[in-house]
Every structure is written in structure tokens, then in C-alpha cells.
Amino acid sequence: MTANELLLAISDIIDKKIQPLESDIKSVKRDLHAIKVDLIENTVVPRLSNIEQHYVTTADRYVNDSDKIESMQTDIDIMKKVLKEHTERLNNIA
């Protein structure tokens, strides 16, 4: 057997060994892609949607109630002032 024939035989053997590995690698890549897509569609997207829904609800509630909150703070400040004045008056009486 000549050196050239030997190299061709080695090349054929390597090709026969590499071909199944390449096929396996392609299969693993397809499976990995399917797993990634499934993870994104079934886990990530629903969770992001849930987070978005709660964020929007909370933001809307804040926007809608911000006037009420400011009004309540004004009322509380007035009540504190009145209570302080009444406490001082009661202390002066006693």
C-alpha cells in the first residue's frame, strides 16, 4: 500500500467517524433550540406578562389615587395642627 493510498484510507476512516458526530451535533443543536423556544414561550413570556400586568395596575392605581393621597396628607397635617392646639389648651386648663 502506497503512502497516498494509506492517506486516503485514513481520510475515509476519519470521514466515517466524523459524519455521525456531525449528525449528533446537529440533532443536539435542534433539541437545544427547541428547549430554548419552549422555555421562552412557556416560562419567560408568561412571567413577563404577569410582571407587566402588575406594574401597569400599580402604576394606574398610583396615578388615579395620587390626588387622594395628597388630599389625605393635607387633612393629616391639619389634624396634627388642631390636635397640637387642643393639647396645649387642655394642658393650660389643667
Task: Kindly report the number of other CB atoms within 10 A of residue 27's CB atom.
Answer: 10
Which pTM was predicted? 0.50
Reported as a single tens digit per residue, the pLDDT across 1-32 is 798 888 888 888 998 888 889 999 999 999 99
Q: Is the pLDDT of residue 33 over 80?
A: yes
DSSP 8-state secondary structure symbol assigned to residue 1: -
CA angle 5, 11, 17 (to 5 degrees): 140
Q: What is the mean pLDDT of residues 19-47?
A: 94
User: Rounded distance, CA 54 to CA 51, Å?
Assistant: 5
